[in-house]
């Protein structure tokens, strides 16, 4: 579910109306970053629409962190150029960006609200204002009792939430989160998803990397699937799924008859059921043949492929094996 954030229309990229350049919060063109002879980012074009929740999805070592750092201006590309909030020199926009790096780190003896205010100060927010906002953020998210506790007394999930609050305290226009869900339990993952949606509702652009398909599926209006330093797919999760055909599972009481000629050529019999991809013409002609032939339909299901199936088809089974899937949280608050 994408919350109340306006989503781009779910049409194929070819049919999409061109988005005006100013509507992109982040753009990268022909980006290449090598470490020695290794191309960690190998010719990437990316455009993140302003206001979108955008996921960069890929296995460990795919180049996600290097891509995010390159887009942010933390490292310079060997080739290509990027634009952050319309600015060709990304670091100039640092105060309007919130960045949660993959390596987390807070001063253990600092109080939670001070840590948040301190991170805001690094992005230009006056400390006094930061302290007020930090307390409000903590209280607003049920963590008021932890405001004066030193970081070392917080649980890992709470400390990560504090760092996240420090990432957004200066009210950035763009939030970039590198693997924000890793190390969080299901409840804190759910809270983080809610926070991301809340920011997006306020018009903030969210760009995050993940190797958990379920998060991208639930949150993102658009995704880029990255493997081996390249983008293998870019579009909506629905468009990714559309790369595969829906799968039909049919059980019949009668096992043979003239109606079997109507089964598609790719049909396989397994576990007492017929399995095949949904034909282009739909299920209706087959249904007619089954009814006319008195096949005795016991069950029929048509399943749309999940994003995980699409990921396997796009990035390959080896890359998919390295993806870690998380349990789906309960419905959103
Ligand atoms: N500073 C560096 N020097 C040498 N190699 C690097 C450097 N940074 C990244 N790499 C290599 O580039 C590749 C891509 O790394 P990157 O961290 O961008 O991937 P990732 O998709 O974010 O994966 P992970 O989630 O594991 O960090 C990896 O093989 C990594 O070892």
- How big is the chain by its Cα radius of gyration, in Å? 24
Burial class (CB in 10 A: 0-12, 13-18, 19+), 150: middle
What is the structure's pLDDT at 312? 86
What lies within 8 Å, CB to CB, of 150 at 6+ separation is: 108, 109, 110, 111, 112
- Tokens 């007619």 locate to 288
- Rounded to two decimals, the ipTM of the complex is 0.95
**40 CA → ligand 1 middle, Å:** 6
Q: Ligand 1, residues 41, 44, 63, 216: which to mutate, most atoms within 8 A of Cβ?
A: 63
**96 CA → ligand 1 middle, Å:** 26
Q: In this predicted model, what pLDDT tens digit does every residue of 71-86 receive, in sequence order?
A: 999 999 999 999 999 9
Backbone angles phi, psi at 234, to 5 degrees: -140, 130
Q: In this predicted model, what pLDDT tens digit does every residue of 59-72 receive, in sequence order?
A: 888 999 999 999 99
Q: In this predicted model, what pLDDT tens digit does every residue of 90-107 receive, in sequence order?
A: 999 999 999 999 877 788
> Considering the chain, what percentage of its residues have pLDDT values greater than 90?
69
Q: Where are the beta strands (DSSP E) in 128-204?
A: 174-178
Distance, CA of 221 to CA of 292 (rounded, Å) = 44
CA-wise closest residue to 7 among 211, 197, 245 = 197
**120 CA → ligand 1 middle, Å:** 28
Pocket of ligand 1 (CB under 6 A): 35, 40, 58, 60-66, 102, 179
Whole-prediction pTM value?
A: 0.83
Q: Considering only CA atoms, which residue is closest to atom 18 of ligand 1?
A: 63
Distances (CA, A) of 95 to 24, 37, 88, 102, 165: 18, 34, 15, 19, 15
Domain 13-241 has CATH 3.40.50.300: yes
Per-residue confidence in pLDDT tens, the chain, 333 aa: 333 333 333 333 333 455 555 599 999 999 999 999 999 999 999 999 999 999 999 988 899 999 999 999 999 999 999 999 999 999 999 999 999 998 777 888 999 999 999 999 999 999 999 999 999 999 998 899 999 999 999 988 889 899 999 999 999 999 999 999 988 888 888 888 999 999 999 999 999 999 888 899 999 999 999 999 999 999 999 999 988 889 999 999 998 899 999 999 999 999 899 999 999 999 999 999 999 999 999 999 999 888 888 888 888 887 777 776 644 444 443
Per-domain boundaries in the chain: 13-241, 247-304
Residues 242 and 209 sit within 8 Å (Cβ to Cβ)? no
């Amino acid at each position: 579910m994408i919350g109340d954030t306006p989503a781009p229309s779910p049409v194929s990229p070819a049919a999409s109306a061109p988005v005006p350049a100013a509507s992109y919060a982040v753009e990268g063109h022909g980006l290449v970053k090598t470490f020695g002879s290794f191309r960690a980012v190998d010719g990437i074009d990316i455009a993140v629409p302003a206001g979108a929740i955008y996921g960069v999805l890929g296995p460990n070592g795919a180049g996600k962190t290097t891509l995010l750092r390159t887009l942010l201006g933390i490292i310079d590309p060997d080739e290509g150029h990027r634009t952050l909030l319309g600015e060709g020199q990304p670091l100039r926009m640092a105060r309007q960006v919130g960045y949660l790096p993959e390596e987390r780190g807070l001063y253990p003896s600092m109080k939670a609200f001070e840590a948040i205010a301190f991170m805001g100060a690094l992005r230009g927010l006056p400390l006094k204002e930061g302290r007020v906002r930090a307390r409000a953020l903590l209280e607003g998210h049920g963590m008021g009792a932890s405001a004066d506790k030193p970081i070392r007394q917080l649980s890992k999930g709470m400390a990560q939430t504090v760092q996240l609050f420090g990432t957004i305290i200066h009210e950035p226009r763009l939030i970039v989160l590198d693997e924000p869900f890793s190390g969080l339990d299901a409840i804190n993952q759910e809270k983080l998803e809610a926070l991301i949606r809340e920011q997006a509702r306020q018009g903030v652009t969210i760009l995050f990397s993940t190797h958990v398909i379920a998060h991208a599926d639930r949150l993102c209006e658009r995704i880029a699937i990255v493997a081996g330093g390249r983008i293998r797919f870019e579009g909506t999760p629905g468009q990714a799924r559309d790369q595969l055909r829906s799968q039909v599972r049919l059980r019949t009481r009668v096992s043979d008859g003239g109606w079997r000629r109507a089964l598609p050529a790719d049909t396989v019999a397994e576990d007492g059921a017929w399995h095949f991809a949904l034909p282009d013409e739909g299920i209706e002609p087959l249904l007619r043949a089954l009814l006319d032939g008195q096949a005795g339909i016991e069950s029929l299901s048509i399943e749309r492929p999940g994003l995980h199936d699409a990921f396997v088809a796009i990035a390959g089974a080896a890359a998919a094996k390295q993806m870690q899937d998380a349990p789906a949280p309960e419905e959103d608050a």
